[in-house]
Amino acid sequence: MKTVDVGGARIPALGFGTWQLEGDDCRAGVENALDLGYRHIDTAQIYGNEAEVGEAIQASEVAREDIWLTTKVWYERATAAQVKSSTEESLRKLRTGYVDLLLFHWPNDRVELKETLGAMNELREQGLAKHIGVSNFTPTLLKQALEIAPVRALQCEYHPFLAQKELIALCAASDMMFTAYSPLARGEVLEDPTLRLIAERHGKSTVQVVLRWLVDQPHVAAVPKASSEAHRRANFDIFDFSLTDADVAAIDGLARGQRIIDPGFAPKWENASA
């Protein structure tokens, strides 16, 4: 398994995302992912499935210390007191004494970033989170965060149709992991002719090509969701082929500033690739 090595941590570059997985489907999905070899699990308070993720990890034969577990503090719980109380709630639901990575899910301009990240850093110093980071931050916001606390990860939307060169470069320069969410552009990669042609040449699916393109990039991890065992297995089966330089250039050339996740509370994106 390829890893992203930052801040003294070795993180599996391919993780299992749990957004929109609920109840028994989530529990069974995480258990199956761990059985298949996934060792990086991504959840969040707002997903409403931390309890199921925790149950699956506890039921698994995989040791807790062998799993990289990420959860996120919702942006509306950004004060110091809220950060601490909601994180303690997450840990109870996850049935663990710590998370490997605690992210601030979206920026909140109504609470000073220094207060939010300061509280998260205190949790890190207490051992409740081994590392802290942010999600959905622009380059300007990420630079501000780096001046406040030892953030080790940034999670943002990233797929062939949305370049993220500036943010990835910032992560690489700051010993940070960049985690790609919605790496398959909500399934839009499936029908792209360029990706399909590359996939055919390698005897792989377009999904496998995209995931390989992502995890081959320095400092980049990806956390695709997969609702079925077949998709979880296929997503994990990406390390037996290599993309050529021409393949990579062709995929890079698909970027068109297409943002899929853009809620009303999102920050003002600074450019098409931010």
How does DSSP assign the chain, residue by residue? Answer: --EEEETTEEEESB-EE-TT--HHHHHHHHHHHHHHT--EEE--GGGT-HHHHHHHHHHSSS-GGG-EEEEEE-TT--SHHHHHHHHHHHHHHHT-S-EEEEEE-S--TTS-HHHHHHHHHHHHHTTSEEEEEEES--HHHHHHHHHHS-EEEEEEE-BTTB--HHHHHHHHHTT-EEEEESTTGGGGGGG-HHHHHHHHHHT--HHHHHHHHHHTSTTEEE--B-SSHHHHHHHH--SS----HHHHHHHHTT-----S---TTS---SSTT-
CA distances, 29 to each of 41, 68, 76 (Å): 11, 16, 28
> Of 102, 99, 105, 48, whose CA–CA distance to 74 is shortest?
105
CA distances, 105 to each of 108, 134, 152 (Å): 9, 6, 14
181 as an active site residue: the answer is no
**Catalytic residue, candidates 47, 75, 158, 181:** 47
Active site residues: 47
